[in-house]
């Protein structure tokens, strides 16, 4: 009979992973070697040098006008033979480079939704980005490639007489295991999303006020997905701030606008108004989640150049507002 050291860690992988069960000493489990960071051959692409990148960053942060940018370009021409190269030659060139760089980030878009409340026809704007494209950006990033965990597992610690299960990451919990077991293709890998909205953090985007919806990928370790850097949580949508005065009617004048502002207090907490807000927020979530709704998964070449069949699912959906509704 094998005698394990106290606190030894056993890892039992999901059968579909085809990985063997392992048992390692606790010290060995804790002292995993740090992977070598990925080095990009051209880290500032599509800019041609670090100086180009830093110049564009300064111009963007400073909101420089076209004349100011052209003037700075003339100054840079004087130092073109310095320690670094400088390749931007005009405002148009910079705009074109910015345009090329914009394709590296998932953009926000606005979804207009029309509703009828009593005698009003109201329009609500939902700002959001494509959840799937945002996830793909992270999955294909070589820097994060060796951080993703694609198979569910069960962790347990030897207490001297038996192994006792413990949970410390989403893929070590029961839901990941069950999802991987039920995937229609045994080659499939679960891709977990953690999504939450917070009514206490009112934000503004494109002139639109709303409650931020934040997404994280559950397949990344907690120190990464809960951090502020690459792989951390991102605002993927703004739930509309629903009140009568903020909604736009298609047929209104200044007087009805004043009446709408007065109506906010009148409608607040009434069942029909509460239900109306619920419909808008639920519809917004449906729009957001539509991008990751798929029956047969999606083959994707990940950052480690390995193709995987990914099946998105919701691990946690947390909505911190009075009309929250969770159906996972």
HEC secondary structure over 191-209:
EEEEEEEECCCCEEECCEE
Is 232:216 a contact under the CB 8 Å cutoff? yes
pLDDT at 242 over 80: no
pLDDT at 40 over 60: yes
Most confident of 69-83, 94-108, 170-184, 257-271: 170-184
Query: What is the three-class DSSP state of 318?
Result: strand
pTM > 0.75: no
Closest CA to 210 of 200, 198, 202, 220: 202
Most confident of 4-13, 22-31, 38-47, 55-64: 4-13
- pLDDT tens digits along 277-327: 778 888 888 888 999 988 889 999 999 999 999 999 999 888 655 544 443
- Cα–Cα separations (whole angstroms), residue 305 to 18, 34, 91, 102: 20, 20, 37, 24
Is 178:8 a contact under the CB 8 Å cutoff? no
Q: For residue 304, what pLDDT is reported?
A: 94
pLDDT at 54 over 80: yes
Q: Does residue 46 have a cis peptide bond before it, meaning omega lies within 30 degrees of 0?
A: yes
Q: For residue 1, what pLDDT is reported?
A: 60
Give the whole-angstrom CA distance, residue 326 versus residue 328: 6
Give the whole-angstrom CA distance, residue 327 versus residue 235: 21
Share of the chain above pLDDT 90, in %: 36
Mean per-residue pLDDT over the chain, rounded: 80
pLDDT at 198 over 80: no
Q: In a 10 Å sphere around its CB, with 0-12 CB exposed, 13-18 middle and 19+ buried, how is residue 254 labelled?
A: exposed
Q: For residue 284, what pLDDT is reported?
A: 87
Task: Indicate the range of 19-23, 114-118, 187-191, 263-267 predicted with least confidence.
Answer: 263-267
Confidence of residue 181 (pLDDT cuts 50, 70, 90): very high
Is 52:88 a contact under the CB 8 Å cutoff? yes
Closest CA to 180 of 12, 53, 16, 11: 16
Confidence of residue 37 (pLDDT cuts 50, 70, 90): low
Give the whole-angstrom CA distance, residue 232 versus residue 224: 6
Mean pLDDT in residue range 70-93:
79
Residues facing residue 191 across a β-bridge: 312
Mean pLDDT in residue range 228-244:
82
Is 316:194 a contact under the CB 8 Å cutoff? yes
Give the whole-angstrom CA distance, residue 254 versus residue 26: 70
Mean pLDDT in residue range 67-78:
85
Pair type for strands 22-24 and 9-13: antiparallel
Mean pLDDT in residue range 60-81:
85
Q: Characterise 146 by phi-psi region: left (phi > 0), alpha (psi -120 to 50), beta (else).
A: alpha
Give the whole-angstrom CA distance, residue 34 versus residue 37: 9
Closest CA to 299 of 138, 136, 151: 136
Task: Indicate the range of 68-72, 97-101, 142-146, 211-215 predicted with least confidence.
Answer: 97-101
Return the half-sphere exposure (C-beta side, CA atoms, 13 A cut-off) of residue 189.
22
Task: Indicate the range of 50-54, 208-212, 222-226, 304-308 predicted with least confidence.
Answer: 208-212
Cα 63 from chain centre:
27
Share of the chain above pLDDT 70, in %: 77
Give the whole-angstrom CA distance, residue 138 versus residue 144: 7
């Amino acid at each position: 009979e094998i005698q394990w050291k106290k606190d030894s860690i056993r890892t039992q992988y999901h059968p579909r992973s085809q990985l063997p069960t392992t048992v390692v000493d606790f010290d060995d489990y804790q002292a995993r070697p740090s992977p070598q960071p990925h080095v990009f051959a051209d880290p500032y692409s599509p800019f041609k040098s670090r100086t180009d990148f830093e110049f564009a960053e300064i111009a963007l942060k400073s909101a420089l006008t076209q004349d100011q940018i052209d003037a700075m370009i003339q100054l840079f021409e004087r130092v073109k033979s310095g320690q670094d190269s400088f390749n931007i030659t005009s405002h148009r060139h910079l705009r074109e480079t910015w345009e090329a760089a914009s394709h590296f980030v998932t953009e926000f878009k606005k979804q207009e939704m029309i509703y009828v409340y009593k005698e009003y026809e109201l329009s609500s704007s939902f700002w959001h980005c494509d959840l799937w494209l945002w996830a793909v950006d992270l999955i294909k990033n070589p820097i994060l490639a060796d951080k993703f965990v694609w198979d569910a597992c069960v962790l347990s610690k030897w207490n001297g007489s038996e192994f006792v299960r413990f949970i410390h990451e989403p893929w070590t919990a029961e839901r990941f295991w069950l999802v991987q077991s039920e995937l229609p293709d045994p080659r499939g890998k679960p891709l977990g999303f953690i999504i939450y909205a917070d009514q206490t953090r009112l934000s503004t985007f494109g002139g639109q006020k709303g409650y931020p919806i934040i997404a994280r990928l559950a397949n990344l370790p907690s120190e990464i997905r809960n951090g502020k850097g690459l792989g951390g949580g991102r605002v993927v949508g703004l739930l509309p701030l629903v009140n009568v005065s903020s909604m736009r009617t298609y047929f209104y004048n200044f007087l009805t606008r004043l009446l709408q502002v007065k109506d906010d207090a009148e409608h607040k907490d009434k069942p029909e108004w509460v239900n109306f807000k619920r419909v808008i927020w639920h519809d917004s979530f449906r729009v957001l989640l539509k991008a990751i709704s798929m029956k047969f998964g999606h083959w994707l070449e990940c950052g480690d150049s390995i193709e995987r069949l990914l099946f998105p699912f919701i691990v946690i959906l947390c909505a911190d507002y009075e009309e929250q509704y969770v159906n996972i």
